[in-house]
Structure 1
Amino acid sequence: MKRRRESSKEDVLEPTVVKAQKLVEHEGCLRTRDYDDVTQEFMTTVIGEYCARLCAEAPMPDHIMETNLLDASWVQARKATGVNLARTPQLAKIVTNRGSQVRGQLKTKLRPLVEAIFGFHSSQSKSAIKKNRSIVEGLKGGTNFAFKVLPDEDGRRGFLKAPLIQKIINTMWFVNKHDDGVRFHNHLKPFPYPALALVLTAIECCIDEWMTGTRTDIPFTIQEYRGAYESHLKCLQAFEEATKTYAVLPAICMRLYEVGRVHSGAAPVSAPMEVTVSARVIATAIKEHEDGSTTEDESD
């Protein structure tokens, strides 16, 4: 006779697999709100985690990176919600589609800032077109748009300290104390190099739209801008290596995060207060115990 397998501890603790219940059928794009409440709660959690990981680790992922981000986010959502939701291709697609939405949102928020800060002007006049082209050439040469002070007789100064960089970080991740920069500080503090490279790439995309002298929409897609993104990321890594003795880049990224958090109105992240008992308190407690006075007299 075959012995009956004894239940292990893991079997007992393993959450029951929950299947998503789709409540609304339609021919449009897949939506979280088409599902039951439990699925919606889980998906909200996994999407938030996925977007934070995406920005922090691989904003322009290939298929393998995208799958790895999804796997890690699904595991974290399961821990956070206590729900073991069965992953289907449809649910996975809802999550991974958020990558293009994040990039699109960043570009949309950046476009008016780039136009205003760098002085681009929408006009069909030859002088305005010529000026716009000149601005593009000046900004893209040597990634001048990333500097606080553009080239002059003293050279460029303030690499990665251009006001536009902090402004878009505040607008994208730190609008209020419930925004992703605050909620997912475990991923975004200090501000990650990949996320910073994404910001630089998005700025470049917005500048490229003025290359002809009049603004032309250029989609901010992985296909079009992965090469530029990787170039910016390598530049940041080389800059870190060249200045590692002074930890320049880590300090810049920490400040980007801290200024963003202040902008959100959230309280600073502080370590838990350490509770300690001094030697004097211990000695007093021992003496009180020996004297039989560890509690107050009930007659008091």
Structure 2
Amino acid sequence: MLGIGLDIEDWDLQDRITAKKAINIMWFANRNDEGIIYYTYFNPIPTEVVALVLTAMSHIPSSVALTSGLKVSRKISNSHQLPTVLSTKVILASLQHFQQHTAPYKLLEKICDNLHDTARFHAGVEPLAMILAAPHRINNNAFEDAIREYQLEEQDNVEDNES
């Protein structure tokens, strides 16, 4: 148990889907959303963002969850007695505790990476690895080729003018 009923090991599939949907809607709704534009801050999804989403999920009243079609496990929704700021701090501490105890396996890092990759897919953009692997500058060979082409064109223009 990781505090106030948050037990990552017991998340059911619906909890994971709901958390992913919340991140997608909030920061990765489209190609121009914050998670895409400011990818350096969202790759991987910060633990604080995960804590914020879990806090929001834990504060959804059962009646709202049922009428909105959200399916939130009651396993993570019993923090409604705590103020939101306090429950966010407790959930963040729980996530950090989880991270410390699973450090050799890097489970939280894998979860945050997966949330990021899924969110980018949801936004309809290329995987970040493809963008970062693309060349960001023109290499010297391209400059040399362009200069040679320019010189040849200039030489042709001079010859045409002389004839």
Superposed pair shares fold, TM > 0.5: yes
Q: What is the deviation of 1:185?
A: 1.7
Partners in 2 of 1:233 and 1:225 — Cα distance?
Answer: 12
Q: Which residue of 1 aligns with 2:101?
A: 242
Partners in 2 of 1:251 and 1:144 — Cα distance?
Answer: 13
Q: CA RMSD in A?
A: 3.7
Q: What is the deviation of 1:166?
A: 0.6
Q: Which residue of 2 aligns with 1:165?
A: 19
Q: What is the deviation of 1:183?
A: 2.2
Letter in 1 for 2:47: Y
Partners in 2 of 1:168 and 1:204 — Cα distance?
Answer: 13
Partners in 2 of 1:193 and 1:174 — Cα distance?
Answer: 17
TM-score (norm 1): 0.36
Question: 1:162 is paired with a residue of what secondary structure?
Answer: helix
Letter in 2 for 1:147: W
Match 2:127 to one of 265, 268, 274: 268
Comparing both structures, which one devotes a greater share of its residues to helix? 2
Q: Which residue of 2 aligns with 1:147?
A: 11
Residue deviations 1:241-265, cap 9 Å, x none? 2222232211211211121111112
The 8 Å contact of residues 170 and 263 in structure 1, kept in 2 or not, is answered as yes
Letter in 1 for 2:12: K
Question: 1:190 is paired with a residue of what secondary structure?
Answer: coil
Q: What is the deviation of 1:228?
A: 1.2
TM-score (norm 2): 0.63
Partners in 2 of 1:164 and 1:146 — Cα distance?
Answer: 15
The 8 Å contact of residues 146 and 200 in structure 1, kept in 2 or not, is answered as no
Letter in 2 for 1:166: K
Partners in 2 of 1:193 and 1:141 — Cα distance?
Answer: 18
**Greater C-alpha radius of gyration:** 1
Residue deviations 1:205-235, cap 9 Å, x none? 11xx339xx99xxxxxxx8222211111011
The 8 Å contact of residues 6 and 91 in structure 2, kept in 1 or not, is answered as no
Letter in 2 for 1:228: S
Partners in 1 of 2:93 and 2:35 — Cα distance?
Answer: 24
Partners in 2 of 1:231 and 1:146 — Cα distance?
Answer: 18
| Equivalent runs, 1:176-187 vs 2, <5 Å | 176-187=30-41
Matched, 1:199 2:53: yes
Partners in 2 of 1:249 and 1:145 — Cα distance?
Answer: 11
Alignment gaps of 5+ in structure 1: 1-139, 151-160, 216-222
Match 1:232 to one of 79, 86, 91: 91
Partners in 2 of 1:261 and 1:142 — Cα distance?
Answer: 26
Question: 2:59 is paired with a residue of what secondary structure?
Answer: helix
The 8 Å contact of residues 145 and 162 in structure 1, kept in 2 or not, is answered as no
Identify if the C-alpha distance between structure 1 residues 142 and 232 changes in structure 2 by more than 3 Å, giving closer, same or farther. Answer: closer
Matched, 1:190 2:44: yes
Identify if the C-alpha distance between structure 1 residues 191 and 238 changes in structure 2 by more than 3 Å, giving closer, same or farther. Answer: same
| Equivalent runs, 1:130-145 vs 2, <5 Å | 141-143=5-7
Partners in 2 of 1:266 and 1:143 — Cα distance?
Answer: 32
Letter in 1 for 2:120: R
